[in-house]
Structure 1
């Protein structure tokens, strides 16, 4: 083989090796980017794993629920269905509760970690919020003998407003609610003297303009509270405070109660992983640029 041929073959071999190396270097960032996407996708899709859920549509409550009622120490929670016929498919809920009723949900076998308690509260009839005449009317929720998630006043129309949504001050009635006047409940100050009027009012179509002092009056709020759980058992409480001891005056209920667990990585760990991936990608890009300029 002539010298020129050997040099040409040597040059071709070196060129081929450089090409393979360049392809390898160019491929590495793509693989790292793909790995980063998969990793972040895994963290991003670490959806909350359900632990408990009850929408009460079946009418089943379960022994995990209990209640305390001042007039009846042996009272047990029941269910009710919102009178608006359009809500027949989802309008059954836990309640109604009134006065000083306190409801508890006891769950066992809980995992340690970040848990989220979610629920809807139905505020029914004449909640007076910050009103000084028949209020203030409060609703609270939290962990028994532990963290208080919520303690605020709520108003279904009293011009005094409410503390919820007020950021330390006073907000307008129904501020922060997800629904207003949707359940079909009606209030009239004369109901104690004329209970039959209740059935007549609530049996009227939602489009009917009520008279005689009757008015539709209800609101729905959705709440989510996340906390760190270190125990295998927790009891959550829900309670009204300052309410009249009369169910046709002001009452409340619960719906779509859920507890979920999401295994979220520590922020510091996720930051370190992200920095490591970005550093590796940057190094590969520098190698690639150096190789291509040889």
Structure 2
């Protein structure tokens, strides 16, 4: 089995390479925008901002499984670059799907809580009505729809509040600012479940294994969209408070800054964030027989990874 990993240098792609599970399941081909890999060595070039370039890559590699960890993720900048975001997150995903449909390949793709408007007060079911508030959400929803319409076998995993020990994310920002400032002012009226990339990778591999073992009828039941997020709930303020508490206890911060709760109105951004980003993950756990633990467990694991990487 040949597996093509797109977005190998991104937050999720790097975790896939670190974890090693894809390479253990087949011949792994890693691709980045420029063909260089942060892990060293050459990779394939896969620039999703030019969707028309992708069929040549796919024809050359001829993957059995396409893991699309590449995305345009600059939520605020997308308000000014919606056409670019839509090419990467929407049109390119349709190209992947159409190639996969023609060649019998499986596409594993990642989407987001931003496809919802965030106005309800219970976790969103997979089939809940979508209603993106901004350009990023619209571009990701376009990708979901293009992949579905392509007719390809696919597993689309919506996730949310993603972070890792590497890359640009909320955890690393809080650690940096916590070391510089005595006070952190963090939004407390947006709700979600912080989800670490290791959980996403391990759950994705479990889903891939389940798919590979399934017969045609079982695959029809598994195909489609699922919610892959950690369990539990918090706010950005709650997440920041947990980060500061653990980082101080572990010596990653010399002293604990005060974490002050503020409203979203006090921290305006070009893109409106969903106030409610909780996704119901019970269906994922049932379909793939894989537990999705509380978000605090992932935070503890990621903090330990940070300690290991700094020693």
What is the TM-score normalised by the length of structure 2?
Answer: 0.26
Could you say which structure has the higher helix fraction? Answer: 2
What is the TM-score normalised by the length of structure 1?
Answer: 0.27
Tell which has more relative contact order, 1 or 2 (C-alpha 8 A, sep 6+).
1
**Structure index of larger Rg:** 1
